[in-house]
Structure 1
Amino acid sequence: MLMPHQIVERSLQDRFDQNVRKHYFRGMEFAGPAGDPGWFGPGSAVWHVHSHLEALVFGLQCAAYIERLDPSIYWMGMHHSRLVQRDEKTGVARPYIDPAGAAVRLGHSIAFFIGTAYGSTATAERLAQTVRAMHHTIKGTRPDGATYDADDPDWLRWNYATVVWGLATAHEMYHPNPLRGRKLDRYYGEFIRVGHALGGTDLPTTKAETLECLQSYLPRLAVTHGAAMATGPNLPMPQAAIDWAIRDTMPKWAKQLIQHRDPNIVERTARRTAVWSVINGLHTAAGAIPEFRQAQARVKGGTTVPHTLPTHVPGTDPVRTRDEVEHSFA
């Protein structure tokens, strides 16, 4: 007979299986080949950080929030993403989140960051190639006449910095056993393999470098319509509470940009404690993800190298249409 906590764990696992794993983890290999360390391998900081799925998902939301302060990224989403609602007749995007599209985006993101962390080398390479292929199709012009290109090195650097900052900061604040100081810098240094695999260059490798990188983009940033609509008073509960927790992770200059003010230390501590309890309560109930356990078993007998490195050479990807890329996600 299952105990109450086991029933909750089974329910959470079943929901994740049906809503995410079933649709977005297809074709990924975690159990083999034996001895393949993948891009990171046992003992890596990435294996430790990404093993806490709930903090990882929260970190992706933190990354997405700060990312869209770049107007070009906002318009990339408006013109190319299924994340936003579109007029049924004209197909023109409206500045509102489409729930179904948001679920698909989140599913793909979770699959990518779990797959590149724990998957076999071949799995990680395939995932990176698919994301690069999607980036190759995202080019256009903003309403103000400025052009954007998802392959632009400056855009890739900004995008990478927002992602690694969001994931690392969520881990630092809400993981029950967080890496700090030099140990956390190990994560920044390891994760750069993902950025390079997606075509990034001149990427930050420590927390301090990442903060410096993010702030250097401040002259280009703005509070876009999408960022304003997804902030604070515009959201019902519990979204507003989640929104506060996301904004709480941002650097001081970014908070100033969106006019976010930290509450007094007592209230801030109480709010963070509540968020910590929710995130870790869900993690305790759900348990470790099977992909992590499979990867551990895959290298139980040892590996020939601590990790493998991405093999992507810029400019060598085959040309694929957006329909072909989306089909490969299916």
Structure 2
Amino acid sequence: MLAFNPGEAMLESFKELLRPPPGMAFDFSQPAGEPALAPSDGIAWQVFANPVVLFIGGVAAVLLELSEPSVRSGVWDHGGFQRDPAMRLRRTGFAAMMTVYGPRSAAQQMIARVVRMHDRVSGTTPGGRPYHANDPRLLDWVQATATFGFTEAYHRYAQPLSAGEKDAAFAEGEPAARLYGATGAPRSWAAWEALLRETAPGLEGSGILAEFLRIMEETPLAPGVVRPLQRLLVRAAVEIVPEPVRSLPQLRGRGLRPGEAALVRTLARASALLPLGDTPARQAARRLSASGTRSRN
């Protein structure tokens, strides 16, 4: 019997984070020369190539989304987290990959489909407030928290970013945000901080926030022997969530333990050196190099 290799299992788990989910296979290497929505020499192309950053940043972004009552109701009631959390996360990750690496025409088509689906998502929060998924206020928050989550995860655990690079991460997301309808999404780090201050009084804890954390810790997104690393990365996500959300009862004390930040940094930096195969980032680089094109917006 072959011995189980934790290193191989971890590598396969990281590869899985970068693969399109079933039914959504896509060749990012075509059509030759077509630019992406995000510039190939920008920050986003670096950030989204790192699977550890993707996992941590994605969880942090959802924690922020679920702290806003209207977004929470829309995501939880219609987003599929309860039915199949692993697939929901993979579909969300693929959508993010498409906006960063995909040819512009395909990214535009995908976003148009999402907008049409969101147009059918509406309801009322438990507090009695009507919501609609295509409300620009909610779209701005979702876009902002996603950019923050991935950028801050990269900054904390993979490679420190300068203030200018953090600003660039938000500016690079503007074309996709505009297509989604998030016309007021932050275009700089200062604008993100301003939106956070403006939104903070309405952010709140809930049983759903606690349930999401439980799902992320217990759902088998990684093989059993590697499962402790999954829980570690969830704690790393809680660690980077800004106030006032990090102090909510459901998150308080759920961040990293002493000495764990160094371990997460080692994992994030090592994942950049792993043989991850033909990733979307590599395929997209081939697409642009086929005609010497550089994607600069």
Asked if the contact 1:157–1:200 (Cα under 8 Å) also holds between the matched residues in 2, the reply is: yes
Aligned to 1:228: 210
For residues 178-257 of structure 1, the aligned pairs below 5 Å read 178-231=160-213, 238=228, 241-257=232-248
Question: Normalising by structure 2, what TM-score?
Answer: 0.82
- Name the SS of the counterpart of 1:148 in structure 2: strand
Please give the alpha-carbon distance, in whole angstroms, between the structure 1 residues aligned to 2:15 and 2:97.
17
1:302 maps onto 2:292 in alignment: yes
Q: How many residues align?
A: 281
Q: Which runs of 5+ in 1 are unaligned?
A: 85-97, 309-330
| 1:128–1:307 distance in 2 versus 1, CA, 3 Å | farther
Asked if the contact 2:21–2:91 (Cα under 8 Å) also holds between the matched residues in 1, the reply is: no
Shift in Å, 1:193: 1.8
Aligned to 1:260: 252
| 1:297–1:242 distance in 2 versus 1, CA, 3 Å | closer
Please give the alpha-carbon distance, in whole angstroms, between the structure 1 residues aligned to 2:244 and 2:184.
23
Q: Which runs of 5+ in 2 are unaligned?
A: 219-226
Percentage of identical aligned residues: 22
Asked if the contact 1:29–1:123 (Cα under 8 Å) also holds between the matched residues in 2, the reply is: no
Please give the alpha-carbon distance, in whole angstroms, between the structure 1 residues aligned to 2:79 and 2:132.
14
Aligned to 1:316: none
**Pairing partner for 1:293 from 277, 282, 286:** 282
- Amino acid of the structure 2 residue aligned with 1:126: Q
- Amino acid of the structure 2 residue aligned with 1:249: I
Please give the alpha-carbon distance, in whole angstroms, between the structure 2 residues aligned to 1:106 and 1:155.
19
Give a deviation string over 1:111-146, Cα, whole Å, max 9, x none: 111112111111111221122122111101123321
Q: CA RMSD in A?
A: 3.2
**Pairing partner for 1:271 from 253, 260, 266:** 260
Please give the alpha-carbon distance, in whole angstroms, between the structure 1 residues aligned to 2:136 and 2:255.
37
| 1:168–1:11 distance in 2 versus 1, CA, 3 Å | closer
- Amino acid of the structure 1 residue aligned with 2:58: L
- Amino acid of the structure 2 residue aligned with 1:16: E
- Amino acid of the structure 2 residue aligned with 1:163: A
Please give the alpha-carbon distance, in whole angstroms, between the structure 1 residues aligned to 2:151 and 2:187.
12
Please give the alpha-carbon distance, in whole angstroms, between the structure 2 residues aligned to 1:263 and 1:299.
40
For residues 1-330 of structure 1, the aligned pairs below 5 Å read 8=8, 12=12, 16=16, 20-21=19-20, 23-26=22-25, 28-84=26-82, 98=83, 101-175=84-158, 177-231=159-213, 238=228, 241-258=232-249, 260=252, 268=258, 270-287=259-276, 289-300=278-289, 301-303=291-293, 306-307=295-296
Please say which structure displays the higher CA radius of gyration.
1
Range moving further from structure 2, 286-295 or 213-222: 286-295
Asked if the contact 2:31–2:287 (Cα under 8 Å) also holds between the matched residues in 1, the reply is: yes
Question: Normalising by structure 1, what TM-score?
Answer: 0.74
